[in-house]
Amino acid sequence: MNTIKNKYIGVILLSFFSIVSFAQDAKNDLMLSMGYYNNNNLTQYLVAHAKTKIDGKFQMVPDVTVKFYINNDSAATNLLGTAITNDKGDAVLMMPPSAKAEWMKSAKHTFAIVSTASKLYDEAKATVDVSKAKLKIDTTDDKKLIVTLLELKDTAWVPVKAVDLKVAIKRLDGDLNVNETATYTTDSTGTITAEFKRDSLPGDKEGNLTLIAKVEDNDIYGNLTAERVVKWGSKFQYVSQFDRRTLFARRGHSPWWLELLAYAIVVSVWAVLIYLIGQIRKIKQLGV
């Protein structure tokens, strides 16, 4: 009887440890992706994105250490830098000046990202190929924008046709299209022409607006932008509301009607009280 009992206990323990060891070994797949960004032909950076699938839903993975490489995903000389993903699963790396020599070697590059293995995830990799390209914005006197997309071929910049791009005006919380057309496609000369139809749009105090042309998530060129400041907006004259007399203003700036009303009530009631205190004095004098 005891032997049978011991056997059952052994089976239960084995099952328990196998479940525990399985649970310890179970790791979710980490999926990495990457984007290349060139803002206004000045700032270049790479964004790595880490996500995983839990219970059939994609979830962003924070705190993943990601190494960024150029043209080779293991050589220390090709390492651009390391970054850690944030709450949104994004890790950003600005292109370091030390990468200039490698960048100048060719018109096309392959960027790679590698995440180091952890208790939760195995090592993961992703690559993206990028051809060097740039956007150029020109304007005409009759408020037209001419945007040209150029790609570097060997040593020469050549126009690129059939690429979608957007033309907009930079505003505080997003970009505003210059007219009703959301997206343009470059012609054989690599250009698009867009008419500016946002007259009287408030600019700064000089009337300056910042135009922006964008290529987004392109398979060959990544994300490119170019900007140009034009005086096509209306001049914005800032009128301070700080001294206005309102109910929500600061101390000493309440509306006149409120001040008059409040002080009139306070003064009249207290005048009565002071008068009555005077009456006490009078009663006192009568009693002397």
Partner 1 sequence: MENLEKEQIVQDLLPQEFGKQGKIWVACLIALCVIGFIAYCHQLSKGLVVTAMRDYASWGIYISNFVFFVAISLVGSLITAVLRLTDVHWSTPLTRIAEIIAVSAITFASIIIVVDMGRPDRFYNLFLHGRLQSPIVWDVIVITTYFFISILLLYFPLLPDLKIMLKYKDRTSKWMYKLYSFLGSFWKDKPEQFKITDKAINILSITIIPVAFSIHTVTSWLFATTYRPGWDSTNFGAYFISGAFLVGSGGVLVAMYVFRSHYNLKKYITYDHFDKMGKVVVMLALLYLYFNVNEFLVPAFKMKKPEEEHLRGLFTGEFAPIFWFAITTSMLLPILILVTKKGRRPFPAFIAGILVVIGSWFKRYIIVTPTLLHPFLPMRDVPASYHHYFPTWEEWAICIGSLAGALLVITFFARIFPIIPIHETITETEEHEHDKK
Q: Rule CB under 8 A: which residues touch partner 1? A: 247-251, 254, 258-259, 262, 266, 269-270, 272-273, 275-277, 279-280, 282-284, 286-288
CA distance 95 to 90: 16
CB of 10 to partner 1, least distance (A): 43
CA distance 102 to 106: 8
CB of 253 to partner 1, least distance (A): 8
In order, the DSSP letters of 77-130 are: GGEEEEEE--TTSEEEEEPPGGGHHHHHT-SEEEEEEEEPP-SS---EEEEEEE
CB of 275 to partner 1, least distance (A): 8
Residue 197 CB: number of other CB atoms within 10 A? 12
Cβ closer to partner 1: 117 or 274? 274
CB of 62 to partner 1, least distance (A): 16
Q: Are 62 and 87 in contact (CB under 8 A)?
A: yes
CB of 257 to partner 1, least distance (A): 11
Q: Are 51 and 90 in contact (CB under 8 A)?
A: no
Cβ closer to partner 1: 4 or 286? 286
Alpha carbon separation from 210 to 169, 186, 237 (Å, rounded): 6, 21, 18
How do strand 222-230 and strand 30-39 relate by DSSP bridges?
Answer: parallel
Tokens of 80: 């651009």
CB of 281 to partner 1, least distance (A): 10
In DSSP terms, which residues pair with 223 in a beta bridge? 37
CA distance 254 to 245: 5
Cβ closer to partner 1: 9 or 262? 262
